[in-house]
Chain A
Amino acid sequence: MRILLIEDDPQAARYITRGLREAGHVLVVANNGADGLSMASDEEYDVLIIDRMLPSMDGLSIVQSLREQDNHAPVLILSALGDLEDRVSGLRAGGDDYLPKPFAFEELLARVEALGRRPNQGNVTTHLTVADLKMDILGRKVQRADKPIVLQPREFRLLEYLMRHSGQVVTRTMLLENVWDYHFDPQTNVIDVHVSRLRAKIDRDFEEPLLYTVRGAGYMLREPE
């Protein structure tokens, strides 16, 4: 993916750039807001990563200007202000996702990739398939190798999210935000228990597992190698 990073802190920029390049992405970096805005307007990028606090022009204004120019490139806002209010104002300004600093690199990578593969609006998916696992979203039915699997509503939504992002790392925070729709920090890893329950239903009776745990990052649903 072509990614534009607008970040004034050179150390943070280096860290993000190196990591994303290692993950196989093309990185372009702007170290202030004005440059960043002109670069984002001139060329097309798959994802924009914008630091909220920037010299010359703050991150939220950049997002607002881009949206006014009818530029709908997915934007991930980075901010040291991790509070809810800031998150809400960030998303209201037109950001697609919001990541409070500091963050684990896996979290950033997972979110950037999720943003980059966000399905185009208008294309409504009704069926999802990963290997022999099939989901009928409208019919609320799941089957693997033609065997029906009965899921609780929350398990269904969890699996749907994982299938939509198959082949991608999905972090626990992303699951909480997207499946449960709450932004909060669980004291214990409640998500793990939900995932292992789901895993018991979709993987236990089958030879090849589909749902993997990515150490230090989260989970990934993918086709067996």
Chain B
Amino acid sequence: MNRSNFLASSTFRLTLLYVVLFTVSVLLLFSFIYWSSVRYMAIQSDAAIRTEIQALAERYESRGVPGLRRLILDRITRQQPTGSSLYLLSDPLGRPIVGNISRWPQVAPKDGWFNFNLDTSDRDEPGLHPARARRFQLTGGFQLLVGQDIHELKSAQRRIITALSWGVILTVLLGLAGGFFISRKMLTRLEVINETSQRIIAGELDQRVPMSSRQDEFDRLSSNLNQMLDQIQELMDGIRQVSDNIAHDLKTPLFRLRQKLESLTSGTSPDPAASLNLQDALAEADRLLNLFNALLRIARLESESARTIKRSLPLSDLVRDVAELYEPLSDEKHQHLSVNVQTPVAILADRDMLFQALANLVDNAVKYTPEGGYIWLTVTAEASSGVVTVCDSGPGIAPAEREKVFQRFYRADVSRSTPGNGLGLSLVRAVVHLHNGKLALLDNDPGLCIQVALPRILNDLKP
């Protein structure tokens, strides 16, 4: 399968849709994870601040400003140098008494909370750090600020975002890769079914879709297809049988009719006109009988398998015999009939049937090639087949009509005026199929080439 084909496949489009849906839900899920973890972290941090304020307020109640100051100093010292807790105690006039920040934040509090940027140029990690703090009014006009440098929190949040983004990217990549893989696998199995169908369309009616042992939906599809094909085959056999029977049943009365006509002609006839009419009727009956015989023969050839008697034949001998038989006929039309054997090749065939097929081809060539035209018979050998090509300089067959000429009773427009029953090429095709050969119509520009390829015998050089 080619690339554009693959990208256009419905499996791949489905997979793509699935990947998009999956990515969206992963995004939603990750957003929720992010949101809830950030919220949890903020709540934790706020709770810690409240607890600290509680503890400091209690110390102030019991020990007063000096006790509180000592405790704050103690806390600051203990968390040095990287601690994230912020403390500031100021007197009623707002002058700082103790703390690890120099002044009150210059922002307006919201619900008692300050969100501000902390200048940390004096610390080992310089720069502005985001911070969050709460003010607590102590008795006696003292004010306490307890906060946290939430720089760590923010970077943790960033790390979560990074991790989740990678998660999303990985999801998309894995989803695409998986989709690619799955659609390929699906396509491969579908392709098997398609190829089989193509072969059946091409005429190999006995082909069946192969099945795996998994009994999955593809196998069910294959099995249904196969059953359908079996049924079609049965119907076709039925039709063939019926037409076979019709031809057979009509043949007998027709034959009796012919016998009656024949006995009439042999008797003494005083009227010459009547005897002429009888001759015509007899000829017509013969034509009909020949038609039925040809139909029956094709029907039998088509239903026959390869069990027919075949033997090894030099293809060139057969072709020379056909040419020899038709040479006087083409001579009468001043046509140039030539045989060119490039490589002698032996094939496995039924001599009479193949002769009939080749004779039909040459017969057609002689019929349709104008006076003074050319007919070439060529024998070549390919790796696994012997090939006979019958070319002529006649009118040829339009490409649109090429497949139709093998149908029974089909006659191309140019051939309506020439005698024939429209069964010649059907018979050729039946014979070639029976020999597992291939039949091709090619352009001769001008004219037509018909190529018959038959399986060759490879060890034909052995005695």
Contact = CB atoms under 8 A, between A and B. Distances in A.
Do A and B interact with each other, yes or no?
A: yes
Interface of A: 11, 15, 18-19, 22, 82-85, 88, 101-102, 104-105, 154, 180, 182-188, 190, 193-194, 197, 215-216
Contacts of B424: 187
Given A15-B259, A102-B255, A193-B329, A186 B363 contact: yes
B363 A182 contact: no
B359 A184 contact: yes
Interface in B254-286: 254-256, 258-259, 262-263, 265-266, 279, 282, 286
B325 interface: yes
B450 to A, nearest CB: 15
Interface in B423-443: 424
23 contacts: A82-B296, A83-B300, A84-B308, A104-B262, A105-B262, A154-B324, A180-B321, A182-B321, A182-B352, A182-B355, A183-B352, A184-B356, A187-B359, A187-B360, A187-B363, A188-B329, A188-B363, A190-B325, A190-B328, A193-B328, A193-B331, A194-B325, A216-B282
Contact of A102 (B289, B324, B328): B289
B309 interface: yes
A-B interface, 9 closest residue pairs, ranked by CB to CB distance from nearest: A102-B255, A184-B356, A193-B328, A183-B352, A187-B363, A182-B355, A193-B329, A15-B259, A190-B329
B420 interface: yes
B356 A197 contact: no
B170 to A, nearest CB: 70
A22 B353 CA distance: 36
Q: Which of A88, A102, A186, A197 gathers the greatest number of chain B CB atoms within 10 Å?
A: A102
Contact of A104 (B286, B324, B332): B286
Contacts of A11: 256
B164 to A, nearest CB: 79
A22 B266 CA distance: 10
B362 to A, nearest CB: 9
B352 A83 contact: no
B326 interface: yes
Interface in B408-424: 419-420, 424
A41 to B, nearest CB: 31
B352 A184 contact: yes
A187 B266 CA distance: 27
A202 B424 CA distance: 34
Residue among B254, B351, B364 having the largest count of chain A Cβ atoms under 10 Å: B351
Contacts of A184: 352, 355-356, 359
A125 B453 CA distance: 43
B255 A193 contact: no
Contacts of B75: none
Given A82-B296, A84-B352, A180-B325, 7 more contacts: A82-B297, A180-B321, A185-B294, A187-B363, A188-B329, A188-B419, A193-B332
A120 B454 CA distance: 42
Nearest to B360: A187
Interface in B344-361: 350-353, 355-356, 359-360
Contacts of A88: 309
B367 interface: yes
A105 B355 CA distance: 26
Contacts of B321: 180, 182
Interface string B239-254: 0000000000001101
A63 B332 CA distance: 45
Contacts of B286: 104
Contacts of B162: none
B194 interface: no
B293 interface: yes
A182 B265 CA distance: 31
Nearest to A105: B262
B290 interface: yes
A101 B282 CA distance: 17
B328 A194 contact: yes
Given A11-B256, A104-B262, A216-B282, A187 B309 contact: no
